[in-house]
Amino acid sequence: MKTVQLVKHKNKDWEYVIEKQELKEPLVIVFGNRYLLEADSIYEDIRSLFPDGHIIFGSACAEISSDTVNEESITETAIEFEKSNFLIKTSNVLNADLDSFKTGDDLIKQFPKEGLKYVFVVSEGSFINGSQLTKGMSASTGDNLVITGGLCGDDARFEKTLASYNENPKEGELVAVGFYGETLEISFSIHGGWTPFGPERIVTKSEGNTLYELDGQPALDLYKKYLGDKAKDLPGAALLYPLNVTSTDENQSIVRSILNINEEENAVILAGDIKENSKVQLMMTNVDNIANASERAARQALEYRTNKPDLAILVSCIGRKLVLDQRVEEEIEEVIDVLGKDTVITGFYSYGEIAPFHGEMACQLHNQTMTITLISE
């Protein structure tokens, strides 16, 4: 595997993070600030650097490279696979009447199944119901394929997200990369580092990813009560206090971020579905807990590998970035310390992370986690 990595900061030229070399038909993964990806010339700019590249775009809350976290910038990682192959397929949730399950199911069904080892997904993050998307992707594979990735971001603005393959980034788009190869080795792990606190409440009214009532009381009213003075900063303030959700039909609890609020109906809108009769608790964390969780994810992803990873794809959550603030690089440094300098690192801060629970195969939507996928040929 050969790699090249470049970063372009606002109003500056491209800088090589990993030194320039010739690559043959590379996979070029481009994460960047949404405003910068809206430039009319963005696709042609990247194409000029890698004329025969397969270029995928995703807007990010920040990008992760092999040495730092980049903001208000574009980070691209070009990878030439020497022993394996990949195919790229796309779908658009706006063309599917916002049916997220169908979008996920159709996306994965486009790949020839024979020899398919792994799929990496970059999904738009504005219109998609992430939990329905992951259920659709898992349904098409019978829970027998490793799928990881994330939902594109737009910092803490939540205005719109962009993605594309070999064209200028656009809204509603999902891009999936399917990997094939006998020697390909994939491993993954996720960790959060958040702690539940306060009373456990029962979801008494919900529909899809909208939470209306907890213990028979309006969900938004309760949330505002807990936030106190910070309630005026909703929905952004809610990223610091996600929900721990324990569903009656799931073995493990899952973390859900609040992405928006509905003042008229006194409801909160989550990143994924929340079922009635689920148990819910608020969560909190600190910088040390987040950094430690990232270290644990890296160690767990390495645990049963045969070969040293060539590439690590990191997807972390916007909520973690807000908590870490000026210390955001610390969780990436923890991962680098575990994996070593020889492993190329790419990734982004997202509106949701896609991966199975450790030891499982069915992909899930997560919030507030560090998701690490390790790849070697």
The pTM assigned to this predicted structure is: 0.93
Instruction: Output the pLDDT for position 241.
Output: 87
Residue 20, Cα to own-chain centre: how many angstroms? 28
CA-CA-CA-CA torsion sign (232, 201, 369, 116)? negative
pLDDT of residue 156: 83
**C-alpha–C-alpha distance, residues 233 and 225, integer Å:** 13
Q: What is the pLDDT of residues 197-255, one digit of tens each?
A: 989 999 999 998 899 999 999 999 988 888 888 888 887 788 888 999 998 777 788 99
Domain architecture of the chain: domains with CATH: 2-190+288-376 (no CATH), 195-284 (2.40.10)
Alpha helices in 195-286 (DSSP H): 219-227
pLDDT at 234: 82
Enter the DSSP assignment of 107.
H
Residues of the chain falling short of pLDDT 50 = none
Of the candidates 236, 220, 110, 239, the one whose C-alpha atom is nearest the C-alpha of residue 176 is 110
Cβ atoms within 10 Å of 306's Cβ, excluding its own: 8
pLDDT of 229:
86
pLDDT of 92 reads 94
Give phi and psi for 7, each to the nearest 5: -130, 140
